[in-house]
Structure formats: structure tokens, C-alpha cells
Amino acid sequence: MTAMRVPFNKPHVVGRELEYIRQAVLNRHLSGNGSFTKQCQGWIEARLGCARALLTHSCTAALEMAALLAGVGPGDEVIMPSFTFVSTANAFVLRGARPVFVDVRPDTLNLDESKVEAAITERTRAIVPVHYAGVACEMDVIAGIASRHRVLIVEDAAQAVMSTYKGRPLGSIGQAAALSFHETKNVMAGEGGALAVNAPEWGERAEILWEKGTNRTQFARGMIDKYTWIDLGSSYLPSEISAAFLWAQLEEAAAITDKRLALWRRYHQLLAPFEEAGVLRRPIVPEGCVHNAHMYYVLVAEPSQRAGLLATLDGQGINAVSHYVPLHASPAGRRFGRVSGSLDVTERVAGQLLRLPLWFDMTEDELSAVTAAIGLWAVSTT
């Protein structure tokens, strides 16, 4: 009998995506900043309570805009975890700043707030907390440090749409935040992102950066009779096709989150015996954090065991994947960044972590197949 094939991810259609794409075509407005773009931005502004939300073609673009708004430049330093995607660092390196890599907490794998202050120097311009797996960083502590040292906070909330910290939506706490709508995310548009601007004084400039450095948005509102080049900027807008797809997903964001949380909790239940046996560790969500079930990962007891688990899952037709190579260990990370203190936790978990399949319409049979394969591996390790 052929084993069930279980991919790591399946992009999903949950509502009126195709209808809205057709409507965008009929509207004869396929470039950016049309009616669907405005609806998506309005949803984000209402959800986060931010001063301005701007849809972008990627979360990377949103991070690059945030770096411009933060005014970072050559000689500046920006504190962030090493356990993150390259865009977190690249956005600031492109402006000439140096990433300063700090270790992560062993429980949440988020930036270790207890090590941030030691990384601050007179050159520090910003702190970039990354909300890993949709679980919040300890933002009260980080915000206190930023306030004391008069540095900015840019939230990398790529994985955190619909997550909260002590009742506050992630992406609403720093001066700005970057969101992702890539097809691997819970709510998606294939490719896409958004910049949430929480600092009101950044709103007008953000629109200019977004529109290639021009005041075209003001022109579109009838505030001026022609637009011109004002500032730095680039082509950050997504098409209306992407925005139309995204709008259908945002309409169903609560249902998507509820379904994924149900799957996440089922994984958590089925994998509890393996944690009790000491062969793996399940994710930890601290009190006060409401996550969005962006991913379900496990940590094997020793890095040397991960290859065996991967091989067993692959042999059963299951596509599980590791995650980041720590940035400080990468060629570009060594070239452009510096390390603050020990990164022992980062280096250890990077070798232990394995992400399991999880998507919106995953079935109980598929989920059970994954946990059964883990059971086969667990038996082989004892």
C-alpha cells in the first residue's frame, strides 16, 4: 500500500478569491493602489489601530521601507535575533547599517529580551523583535529598553497576523511593523506584505516612499494638481490582482486562524507522549501571548537525531523541513553583522528544530500520518 503523501504546505482558497480577481479585471485597474488595495489597508488599520497601513509586494519590501523611515545609515547598528530570515537583516544592511545579533530564548525561540540591553551602544538605532511562529516577543521589556535608550522598534511580524501580546495585536507596538502575506503564511496572496506605520509622524513620508519617492498619493486625492519626485523610494505596491486575492483571505482571517489553531492543538495533543518520553520538545506559548498557529515545530533532544527523523518522515511520504541557518553563521552575516554575547541557544535550536506540515484544509488523516511517522522514529531511537 502506498504511503499517504503529505506536503509541507498547500496554498488555500477559502472564500471569494476568484470572484474578486474577476472583479479587479472588470474594474480595469490592475496596477497598485486600487479599490482592493484600499480595502486591505483599511482592514489592517482597523485590526492594528495603526496610523497608516500600506500594502506591499512582499514583507521584505515593508522591512526596507521601515529601514528608510527609521533613518538608519552607515555607522548605525540594529539589534535583532540571528535566528530569522535574511530579509530582517538585509533591509538594514541595504541602508549601510550593521545588524547586531543577539541570542534567542530557549522557550519561544524569540529575541531574548534579557540580552538586548547589553547589545546597545551609542550607535544603536533600532531593535527588531521577530515574533517567531506567531508567538509574541516580550514586548513590554523590549519597549522599556527602547524607551530608556531612545531607540526605535521595528516589529518583524511576518508570521504574526492575528496574534496578540497581552491583548495588543502584534504589529501595533513598535514605531512600524512588517507583515507577510506570502503563500506560506496563514493569510496569503501568493506574494505580498504590508507596512504598518504606528508613528503618526511617519505616515506622510511612508506614502511617498511607497509611491517611488513621489507625492502621487496626494495627487490621487486631489490635494495637489501634479506630482513630482520628493524623496527616496521604490516600486513597493502590489497589483490589484494580488490585493483582490488577499481581500478574500482577510475577510476569512478569523476562520482561517480558528481552523489552524484546531490543527495545532491536535498536534500538541498527539505529540505529548513523545515529549513525556524525552524524545522531543513541543512549542511553548507563554501566558499573555495568543498565537495564530502559524507553524507547528518540534525540537529533537539532540541535533544528531534530526536527520533520522527527517529520513523517517520522508520515507512515509511526509515533507517536513528545518528552518533558518543562523544569520551570524552565514557568509553575509559574518561580513555585515556582529555578534553580541553568546548565541548558544540559537546554534543549538537551529540544529534541533523541525517544522511539521500544517495548512488550512489539512485533514485528520494527514495529521495522524505525520504523528504516526514520528512514532516510528521514536521507537527506533529507544
Residues 158 and 247 in one domain: yes
pTM assigned to the model: 0.96
Residues 214 and 331 in one domain: no
Among 220, 252, 284, the domain boundary falls at: 252
Using N-to-C axis directions, what is the helix angle for 17-26 and 240-251, rounded to 10°?
A: 140
Q: State pLDDT tens for residues 201-258.
A: 999 999 999 999 999 888 888 888 899 999 999 999 999 999 999 999 999 999 999 9
Q: Supply φ then ψ for residue 137, to 5 degrees.
A: -65, 165
Residues 237 and 262 in one domain: no
Query: In this predicted structure, what is the pLDDT of residue 3?
Result: 64
**What is the total count of domains within the chain?**
2
Q: d(Cα 137, Cα 141) in Å, to the nearest integer?
A: 9
Q: Is residue 2 part of a domain?
A: no
Residues 292 and 233 in one domain: no
Q: d(Cα 36, Cα 264) in Å, to the nearest integer?
A: 31
Residues 140 and 259 in one domain: no
Among 252, 287, 322, the domain boundary falls at: 252
Residues 241 and 226 in one domain: yes
Terminal Cα distance for the chain, rounded: 27
Cell readout for 104 is 534567542
Q: d(Cα 114, Cα 160) in Å, to the nearest integer?
A: 22
**Domain coverage including residue 94:** 17-252
Residues 170 and 305 in one domain: no
Residues 279 and 343 in one domain: yes
Residues 122 and 247 in one domain: yes
Look up the CATH number of the domain holding residue 358: 3.90.1150.10
SS3 161: coil
Query: In this predicted structure, what is the pLDDT of residue 1?
Result: 37
Q: Is residue 8 part of a domain?
A: no
Residues 198 and 280 in one domain: no
Q: Is residue 88 part of a domain?
A: yes
Among 203, 237, 252, the domain boundary falls at: 252
Q: Is residue 4 part of a domain?
A: no
Residues 229 and 329 in one domain: no
Beta strands in the chain (DSSP E): 52-56, 77-81, 98-102, 124-127, 152-156, 164-165, 168-169, 176-180, 193-197, 280-281, 289-290, 296-300, 338-339, 353-356
Q: Is residue 9 part of a domain?
A: no
Q: Is residue 48 part of a domain?
A: yes
Kindly compute the dihedral angle of the four CA atoms of residues 27, 28, 34, 37, in this order, to the nearest 10 degrees: 70
Look up the CATH number of the domain holding residue 128: 3.40.640.10
Give 173's contacts (C-beta < 8 A, 6+ positions apart): 139, 143, 153, 155, 165, 198
Residues 205 and 323 in one domain: no
Q: Is residue 6 part of a domain?
A: no
Q: Is residue 145 part of a domain?
A: yes
Task: Per-residue pLDDT tens, the chain, 382 aa: give them.
Answer: 346 799 999 999 999 999 999 999 999 999 999 999 999 999 999 999 999 999 999 999 999 999 999 999 999 999 999 999 999 999 999 999 999 999 999 999 999 999 999 999 999 999 999 999 999 999 999 999 999 999 999 999 999 999 999 999 999 999 999 999 999 999 999 999 999 999 999 999 999 999 999 998 888 888 888 999 999 999 999 999 999 999 999 999 999 999 999 999 999 999 999 999 999 999 999 999 999 999 999 999 999 999 999 999 999 999 999 999 999 999 999 999 999 999 999 999 999 999 999 999 999 999 999 999 999 999 988 6
Q: d(Cα 169, Cα 48) in Å, to the nearest integer?
A: 6
